[in-house]
Amino acid sequence: MTSVALGSIISAAEVTHVSRDGFWILLQNEELFVPFVEFPWFRDASIGQLMNVEWPQSNHLYWPDLDVDLSVESIRNPADFPLRARA
């Protein structure tokens, strides 16, 4: 019996630094800054909650402890995504 692959394997996303203004997340060879002013629901998160990030698809990140889903593109270009949830 053979198994069918369910999708591409994506490397783990890694939070590399946290500051009072936001945090940096490493996605393979790209490091992105996630500013709290643009993504306020992360401001009061613990370090453990920020570090527990999943990268299930190439353009999708998920923080299960915070129940936050983001497209990678919204981090790269937050001005292109003017609708935001309240913190």
Q: Name residue 47's amino acid.
A: I
Report the pLDDT value the prediction gives residue 63, as an integer from 0 to 100: 97
Report the pLDDT value the prediction gives residue 79, as an integer from 0 to 100: 84
Could you read off the pLDDT of 45-70 as tens digits, one per residue? 999 999 999 999 999 999 999 999 99
Whether the predicted pLDDT of 78 surpasses 90: no
* pTM of the predicted protein model: 0.80
pLDDT band at 37 (very low <50, low <70, confident <90, very high): very high
Whether the predicted pLDDT of 82 surpasses 90: no
Task: Extract the tokens encoding 84.
Answer: 């935001």
Domain residue limits at 47: 14-80
Q: For residues 25 and 34, is the Cβ–Cβ distance under 8 A?
A: yes
Whether the predicted pLDDT of 10 surpasses 80: no
37 belongs to a structural domain: yes
55 belongs to a structural domain: yes
Residue 25: exposed, middle, or buried by beta-carbon count in 10 A (0-12, 13-18, 19+)?
A: buried
For the chain, give the percent of residues with pLDDT over 70. 82
Give the CATH number of the domain where residue 19 resides.
3.30.2020
Count structural domains, the chain: 1
